[in-house]
Amino acid sequence: MTIDSHAPADTEAVGAALSTRLLQRGVRHAFVSLCGEMGVGKTAFVRGFASTLGCRGVKSPTYTVVNEYMGSPLPVFHFDLYRVADEEELYGIGFDDYLARDGYCVCEWSENGGDLLPPDRITVTIARCESGESDRRITIEGEPDEDSCI
pLDDT tens string 50-68: 999 988 888 776 667 788 8
Which CATH fold would you assign to the domain 2-119+130-141?
Answer: Rossmann fold (3.40.50)
pLDDT over 90 at 12, yes or no: yes
- 137 beta partners: 4, 127
**What share of the chain has pLDDT > 90, as a percent?**
30
Query: Residue 20 has what pLDDT?
Result: 92
pLDDT tens string 122-143: 999 999 887 777 889 999 998 6
At residue 5, the 3 state secondary structure works out as strand
Q: Would you put residue 124 in left (φ > 0), alpha (ψ -120 to 50) or beta?
A: beta
**What is the Cα–Cα distance from 47 to 44, expressed in whole angstroms?**
5
Strands 66-69 and 2-5: unpaired
Query: Residue 15 has what pLDDT?
Result: 93
